């Protein structure tokens, strides 16, 4: 083994670990907003398991991140669209699961994803949360 491979292999392994771990939740999570200011529109096939917030560096700035966990309570595998709208006009969201190469969210299973909100350095006053299944 050459000196170059001794350096390259650990560097690649470290980079892979950093890319795989974005779902880890920071220790300083907090309730995103008061329950009375959280407007939810959740499809009957889904159940919101958790919605937590934390601040973490994103593109050079500590910004708000939403950790959303959704449970599939239907009898069919599902993929969900998550939309988060904030009182200041900002929004975040995406798909759970983000990619389908490992399958969909199976009945009874819970899946999570973390959504950063670029430029959001304050806790929101109000949140509109929409979760709905998308066509397979």
The pLDDT of residue 6 is above 70: no
Q: What is the pLDDT of residues 19-67, one digit of tens each?
A: 333 444 445 899 999 999 999 999 999 999 999 999 999 989 999 999 9
Looking at domain 25-133, its CATH class is mainly beta
Residues 46, 65: Cα–Cα separation, whole Å: 21
Rounded Cα distance, 3 and 27, in Å? 38
Q: How far apart are CA 9 and CA 136, in angstroms?
A: 38
- Backbone dihedral region for residue 114 (phi beyond 0: left; psi -120 to 50: alpha; all else: beta): beta
Residue 134 has pLDDT above 90, yes or no: yes
What is the model's pLDDT at position 136?
Answer: 59
Cα→Cα distances 1→5, 14, 16, 104, Å: 6, 19, 21, 41
Q: What is the pLDDT of residue 21?
A: 36
Q: What is the pLDDT of residues 55-108, one digit of tens each?
A: 999 989 999 999 999 999 999 999 999 999 999 999 999 999 999 999 999 999
* pLDDT for 5 beyond 60: no
More confident residue, 51 or 1: 51
Model pLDDT, residue 12 = 41
Question: In 30-63, which positions are buried (b, 16+ CB within 10 angstroms) versus exposed (e)?
Answer: eebbeeeebeeeebebbeeeebbbbbbeeeeeeb
**And the tokens for 28?**
């300083």
Count CA within 13 A, CB hemisphere, residue 68.
Answer: 29
**pTM value?**
0.77
């Amino acid at each position: 083994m050459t000196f170059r491979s001794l350096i390259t292999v650990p560097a690649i392994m470290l980079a892979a670990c950093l890319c795989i771990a974005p779902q880890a939740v920071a220790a300083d999570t907090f309730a995103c907003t008061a329950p009375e200011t959280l407007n939810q529109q959740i499809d009957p096939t889904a159940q919101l398991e958790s919605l937590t917030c934390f601040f973490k560096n994103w593109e050079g700035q500590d910004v708000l991140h939403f950790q959303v966990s959704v449970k599939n309570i239907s009898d069919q595998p599902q993929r969900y669209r998550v939309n988060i709208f904030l009182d200041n006009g900002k929004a975040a969201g995406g798909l759970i699961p983000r990619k389908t190469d490992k399958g969909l969210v199976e009945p009874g299973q819970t899946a999570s994803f973390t959504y950063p909100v670029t430029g959001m350095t304050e806790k929101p006053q109000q949140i509109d949360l929409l979760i709905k299944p998308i066509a397979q």
